[in-house]
Structure 1
Amino acid sequence: MQKSSTGISAHPFLQNGFRPFFLLGALYSVTNLLIWGGFFAGHRPPPAFLLDPVSWHAHEMIFGFTIAIVAGFLLTAVANWTGRNPAGPMHLAGLSLLWLAGRVVMHFDLGLPEMAIFLVEGSFILALALTLSLPLLKSWNQRNFVFLVLLTILLACDMTFLVTKEFTSLYVAVMIVVAMISLIGGRVIPSFTVAALHQRGKKAKQVAQERLDISAILSLVLIILALVFTGPEGMFLAVVSFLSATLHALRMRHYHTHRILGDPMALILHIGYGWVIAGLILTGFSALGTLPFQISLHALTAGAIGSMTLGMMSRVPLAHTGRTVRATRLTILSFILLQGSALMRVLGPIMNPDNTVNWIMGSATLWAFCFAFYILAYAPILWKPELERRAA
């Protein structure tokens, strides 16, 4: 008979990286968007002691919400890739506290000097990268060293933005996350889709397209270079954005999207990837001056990042706790609300720019409800033991 333990290190919540970071990220997402929507509704503005409200919102959705979900995914994925758990329970608790400390110093004026705020905020990504590097280096998992590079660039973007307050660093950070989506999506979307089709008794196979995959990633590198050296406008950015959209669309032709429409858990990942293509196209048009860059930016953030993070946040906990990967009604509702939020934020200002403030408030509200429903559906799963342990 296995001896039970009541210590904090034995709690299921600290046994997998996705558990604390998916829940913390979802909770923070709801809080952030309610504050943001309330600000436009005339209520109390977001914290403004270090950053102005727009900068605070942009920074926290990337380096607060998104990085939490990235952390949860990578901590789980690296364990699978290497066969080594990157963070034990107390290590995971420490990482969670570092993330929370960053959110505290970005929300509350504690009288700290700016350098102290920067150090606290930057400590999480640094600790995460070091945590992931140990199992990757020990197993010499060269294929996934790229994620250490991407995390390092994200840390540099975070620190550069806090020091300079220039948005170019945030634009680069968004494209780094899009690169992660492109890289991971190119692996998991066809794999999950083919597996789902096989479960239905349908024939399907993955199509190797390594050169196209590499070309798509390199095209995003060109976009980053354009943003750094020319800003969010100009012919070069337009050309490489349209090129990147084309390459990503060509990849998708082998993803069996039309055959997976009845499976919400797979479809949400396809939709997220589709938002990448749409965002890149809109980036091309915004670079030509035909629409505001914020439109294309939110197609990539609210649309692509929002859909892909929610899709993985919904799939990973089920797959890693012995449950069937199937969308409940509440999960499907959260998927729908997310798409409504993204469409309202992107298309609303295009169709009726005079009501942009209302579109922002509506989008923020739908987003908050989306992740509130996610919490209702997944908090018990993230908190409780996996099914096999409960049955033992």
Structure 2
Amino acid sequence: MKTDSQGESPMRIPQLLRGGFRPFFLGGALWALIVLVLWVAVLSVGLELPSHLDPLAWHRHEMLFGYLGAVIGGFLLTAIPNWTGRPPMAGAPLAGLALLWLTARLALLFSATLGAPLAIGLDIGFLAVLAVIAAREVIAARNRNFPIVIAVSLFAFATALDHAEALGLAVPAGLGWRLGFAIVLVLITLIGGRIIPAFTRNWLTSQGKTEHLPPQANRFDIATIAATVIALLAWAAVPYAPYAGALLLIAGILQAARLARWAGHRVVREPLVLILHASYAWLPLGLLLLGGSIFLGQIPVSAALHALSAGAMASMTLAVMTRATRGHTGRPLAADLSTRAIYILVTLGAALRVAAPLLPIDYMRAIEIAGAAWGGAFVLFVLAYGPMLIGPRPDGKP
């Protein structure tokens, strides 16, 4: 009988533990909802969180390193076997890693009682273990994706910096979360630059539209990636420096031009591909807003940050999670009504949150509406995709 890399028969492994995307996509989506609900309760009724972190720091940390840490884990553990040809992590080892992530989340939430050192150790430990696992697999296969492993390692370092600041250590204010923010955006730049033009070409070709396809990556893409990395690192280090603002504006313009080359206007009939273009569009917009906020006081920094987080990060992760879940559970790569609703709600929620300071309604009411739409996208993901993630494939395969 065929066994996986841990020596377990696939038929004996619970469905939820047969692939990294299953526990981490579902767990991440559920945690994003919990964090959102608790944050709204803090703002609306003054809820006091049992964490050693202040409410804003906890909310920011958990959305960035908690939710996105889970999605990155699920993506990596699913993509690495495709990159390397090596067996995927499943069964007990996957359960242990997922449990480490969950324990870290709960420990940080209740760290005022459990103690900060334990929570911090678990939190950094999850990302460190994930980086080690990814490095082991990539090195063993001599695969070219080692830069992504480096990015995950730096993400763990950014987590440590964020905790160090919260403990009062000599860390520049905000450096940890800004560095983590920058790393996620670089990952979107790298991975989005691979999958968006590739999926666009595939769909257009399948429709017989073989002219004016998205070009293969070239020196322009390399220059755009380099400019984005430099701009984001400059912003992470000196967020109010004029030269950081200029670099962000340059990166935003280059990213907009890069996206335009991928022929997104030709895939409006295919939601699974269109959402990737729409998600990526938040990246140049956010970079331009962030750069502009350094020079123009009329542009709120919060609008720029939410364009990049509630916009680029949330919509891109939902786009990848829906597509990957359908593909890896044997479902058709087609967006049903619930999937299209997920895309509409997350986009609407992000747009309302970015525009909240400018809307002719009460600011808190605008945030509540934006949060309801954004949170609704994750509720729908859990309801529609949760059964796929915990249930068997319809084709009966392991």
TM-score range, shorter chain: over 0.9
Q: What is the CA distance between 1:367 and its match in structure 2?
A: 1.8
The 5 Å alignment of 1:309-320 reads 309-320=317-328
The 5 Å alignment of 1:1-392 reads 10-47=13-50, 49-109=51-111, 111-141=113-143, 143-165=144-166, 166-204=173-211, 205-231=213-239, 233-290=240-297, 291-352=299-360, 355-389=362-396
Q: What is the CA distance between 1:322 and its match in structure 2?
A: 1.9
Q: 1:11 to 1:147 in 2, by over 3 A?
A: same
Q: 1:252 to 1:135 in 2, by over 3 A?
A: same
Please give the per-residue CA displacement for 1:65-110, whole angstroms capped at 9, x wherever unaligned. Answer: 1111111111111110001135231111111001001101111136
Q: TM-score, normalized by length of structure 1?
A: 0.93
Aligned partner of residue 45 in structure 2, secondary structure: coil
CA contact (8 A) 1:168 1:227 kept: no
Q: 1:8 to 1:54 in 2, by over 3 A?
A: farther
CA contact (8 A) 1:34 1:365 kept: no
Ranges of 4+ aligned residues in structure 1 off by more than 6 Å: 5-8
What's the RMSD between the two structures over aligned residues? 2.1
Q: What is the CA distance between 1:7 and its match in structure 2?
A: 9.4
Q: What is the CA distance between 1:265 and its match in structure 2?
A: 0.7
Q: TM-score, normalized by length of structure 2?
A: 0.92
CA contact (8 A) 1:36 1:364 kept: no
Q: 1:128 to 1:6 in 2, by over 3 A?
A: closer
Distance across 2 between alignment mates of 1:100 and 1:210: 40
Partner letter of residue 196 of structure 2? I
Partner letter of residue 11 of structure 1? P
Q: 1:2 to 1:389 in 2, by over 3 A?
A: farther
Please give the per-residue CA displacement for 1:138-168, whole angstroms capped at 9, x wherever unaligned. Answer: 1111x21011111111111111111113323
Partner letter of residue 359 of structure 1? A
Distance across 1 between alignment mates of 2:11 and 2:160: 33
CA contact (8 A) 2:161 2:175 kept: no
Q: What is the CA distance between 1:388 and its match in structure 2?
A: 2.9
CA contact (8 A) 1:9 1:90 kept: no
Partner letter of residue 302 of structure 1? A
CA contact (8 A) 1:341 1:363 kept: yes
Q: 1:63 to 1:139 in 2, by over 3 A?
A: same
State the identity %.
Answer: 34
Q: What is the CA distance between 1:180 and its match in structure 2?
A: 0.3
Aligned partner of residue 323 in structure 1, secondary structure: coil
Select between 357-366 and 372-381 the one with higher mean Cα deviation. 357-366
CA contact (8 A) 2:107 2:118 kept: no
Distance across 1 between alignment mates of 2:263 and 2:61: 35
Length, aligned pairs only: 386
Q: Which consecutive residues of structure 2, in runs of 5 or more, have no partner in the other structure?
A: 167-172
Q: What is the CA distance between 1:43 and its match in structure 2?
A: 4.9
Q: What is the CA distance between 1:329 and its match in structure 2?
A: 0.5
Distance across 2 between alignment mates of 1:215 and 1:247: 9
Distance across 1 between alignment mates of 2:102 and 2:11: 18
Partner letter of residue 111 of structure 2? D
Q: What is the CA distance between 1:2 and its match in structure 2?
A: 9.3
Distance across 2 between alignment mates of 1:348 and 1:278: 16
Aligned partner of residue 388 in structure 1, secondary structure: coil
Select between 203-212 and 270-279 the one with higher mean Cα deviation. 203-212
CA contact (8 A) 1:35 1:45 kept: no
CA contact (8 A) 2:52 2:112 kept: no
Q: 1:70 to 1:157 in 2, by over 3 A?
A: same
Distance across 1 between alignment mates of 2:113 and 2:29: 28
